[in-house]
Amino acid sequence: MKPARFDYVRADTLAEAHAVLAAEGENARVIAGGQTLVPMLSMRLARPKVVIDIMHIAPLAKIAEEKDAIRVGAAVRQAELLEWPALAERQPLMAMALPWVGHAQTRSRGTVCGSVAHADPSAEIPLVLLALKGEIELSSRRHKRRVAAEEFFTGLMSTACAENELIDSILIPSRRVGEGFAFREFGRRHGDFAIVACAAVAKGNSVRLGVGGVADRPVARDLLDLDGSALDDALDTLAWDLEARDDLHASASYRRALVRRLGKETIEEARRCRA
Amino acid sequence: MPRLSADARHRIRARINGRAIEAEAEPRMLLTDFLRHVLGLTGTHIGCEHGVCGACTVEIDGRLARACLTLAPQIEGSEIRTVEGLAPSPDRLSVLQEAFRRHHALQCGFCTAGILVSLDHYLARTPDPSESEIREFLGGHLCRCTGYVPIVAAALNAAKKLREAKPHA
């Protein structure tokens, strides 16, 4: 398994990366940490004419605290965000979920934004971004725009990012007073893809629950003022709405059972942690 | 940086195990092949070649990396450490390597190169890990013969020896 031939550009500036994207469109692929793109190249699931390395564009390598959000640039590795001292304080949900992303040996290279760009339905970072109502900042040669996570993930490994655009950074909303968070994941082995992953944000008696690994993209629901059997019913409805399918790893009914069970545990834990 | 054309070989400069290297590779060449075929550093093994097994783990600029998930041109200007860089001298094993030998932590040895690089990196940063921390960390590697028990034992023993060797650290 060796990649097909491609040109390689190590972009020093964002403008340089934009220019190649504008000229090559769908024939270009952006490489950051390469933890997903390189296996796709090797298996020849992706055969770009040119690969644009964005890891040496200095402004993309920053984690910045903004008023209500943490801005994570496209060249920030997952391990760097996990090591960022303010993370657990500024956004506990991301701090809880990041250790579940791959293994220490891949988080050290894989980027936060790369996981968002790839949009695997069982990936943790897209799930957390959706649960928190985060945003994705895209740029191209002429434009810059912000897309809500809710609109960004459009289907199985597909996103609102256009051919001539790249992800500049993502905005992870900071924790607000009174919020509680929890993250749970079930897989065969730590570091494997999630069979079901749940992320919950509780505030007052309402809760927003995100579920990954079941539908073709992460899905989040706002569950207002629900407890006891009403909450169980809402989780059951959600489990059926996700249209789980059988695959090698789990049957659809097993996935629905996990959504009901893990979903409830995650919500209860998030409520306990409200502060 | 100029665009490196797909059909040509391009000069790549890096430091590997403390030594400056300069060699040529096509843009599509994986770091695993660059190390093994171009530089002759065959200690790094190729298992699955898509990032799952961990046999090809090396250090790039102080961080662990799957060499098979790295393109050769990505390492331009980087500092690489491979399994060949672990032993203090050609006739001596490192503390971790010695522990692997003592605990029979390898049979066929295929996964060993990656696990040694990984654990060497880990123990330097986590001098007193618990068994469960080591097990979680080893989740990034596949071994198909020893069943991990002796690997975990070797890692715990090496951690202890390294702590004893540096009592004031």
Residues B102-130 have pLDDT tens digits of 999 999 999 999 999 999 999 999 999 99
| Residue B48 distance to chain A (closest CA, Å) | 9
Give A-chain residues touching B1 at CB under 8 angstroms: 9-12, 56
Lowest mean pLDDT among A100-104, A209-213, A224-228, B150-154: A224-228
| Residue B86 distance to chain A (closest CA, Å) | 18
Helix (H) or strand (E) holding B98: helix B95-102
Residue B78 resides in a domain: yes
Query: Phi-psi bin for A245: left (phi > 0), alpha (psi -120 to 50), beta?
Result: beta
Percent of chain B surpassing pLDDT 70: 98
**Architecture category of domain A7-53 in CATH:** 2-Layer Sandwich (3.30)
Give the C-alpha distances (Å, rounded to integers) separating B94 from A9, A132, A228: 39, 46, 58
**A5: nearest CA partner in chain B:** B6
Residue B124 resides in a domain: yes
| Residue A3 distance to chain B (closest CA, Å) | 6
pLDDT at B168: 60
Distance, in Å, from the CA atom of A238 to the CA atom of B90, rounded to the nearest integer, reads 61
| Residue B54 distance to chain A (closest CA, Å) | 8
Is B4–A12 a contact, with Cβ atoms under 8 angstroms apart?
A: no
Domain boundary among B63, B85, B107: B85
Q: How many domains does chain B have?
A: 2
Question: Is residue A85 exposed (0-12), middle (13-18) or buried (19+ Cβ within 10 Å)?
Answer: exposed
Domain boundary among B56, B85, B114: B85
pLDDT at A12: 97
Domain ranges of chain A: 7-53, 61-173, 179-272
Which stretches within chain B are classed as H helix? Answer: 31-33, 95-102, 112-125, 131-138, 149-165
- B15-52: b or e for each residue (b if 16 or more CB lie within 10 Å)? ebbeeebeeebbbbbbbbbbbbebbebebbbbbbbbbb
Q: Which amino acid is it at B88?
A: P
Quote the mean pLDDT of chain A.
96
CATH of domain A61-173: 3.30.465.10
What does the DSSP assignment read for A169-231?
EEEEEPP-TTEEEEEEEE-SSTTSPPSEEEEEEEETTEEEEEEESSSSS-EEEEE-S--HHHH
Domain boundary among B85, B119, B139: B85
Residue A205 has pLDDT above 90, yes or no: no
CB A109 within 8 A of CB A35: yes
Closest CA to A200 of A176, A230, A222: A222
Percent of chain B surpassing pLDDT 90: 94
Q: How confident is the model at residue B167 (pLDDT cuts 50, 70, 90)?
A: low
The pLDDT tens digits of the residues spanning A93-134 come to 999 999 999 999 999 999 999 999 999 999 999 999 999 999
- What are the two backbone dihedrals, phi and then psi, of residue B20, each rounded to the nearest 5 degrees? -75, 135
Q: Is the ipTM of this complex over 0.85?
A: yes
Q: How confident is the model at residue A226 (pLDDT cuts 50, 70, 90)?
A: confident
Nearest CB partner across the interface for A9, out of B3, B57, B141: B3
Structural domain of B17: 10-85
The pLDDT tens digits of the residues spanning A150-202 come to 999 999 999 999 999 999 999 999 999 999 999 999 998 777 889 999 999 99
CB A72 within 8 A of CB A83: no
**Architecture category of domain A179-272 in CATH:** 2-Layer Sandwich (3.30)
Strand partners, A9: A52
What angle, 0 to 180 degrees and rounded to 10, lies between the N-to-C axes of helices B131-138 and B149-165? 120
Distance, in Å, from the CA atom of A100 to the CA atom of A234, rounded to the nearest integer, reads 27
CB contact residues (below 8 A), chain B span 9-48, against chain A: 26-28, 30, 33
CATH number at residue B109: 1.10.150.120
Q: Which amino acid is it at B102?
A: R
Token reading at A228: 């006891």
Give A-chain residues touching B7 at CB under 8 angstroms: 5
The pLDDT tens digits of the residues spanning B17-43 come to 999 999 999 999 999 999 999 999 999
Strand partners, B20: B15
Q: How confident is the model at residue B65 (pLDDT cuts 50, 70, 90)?
A: very high
CATH number at residue B58: 3.10.20.30
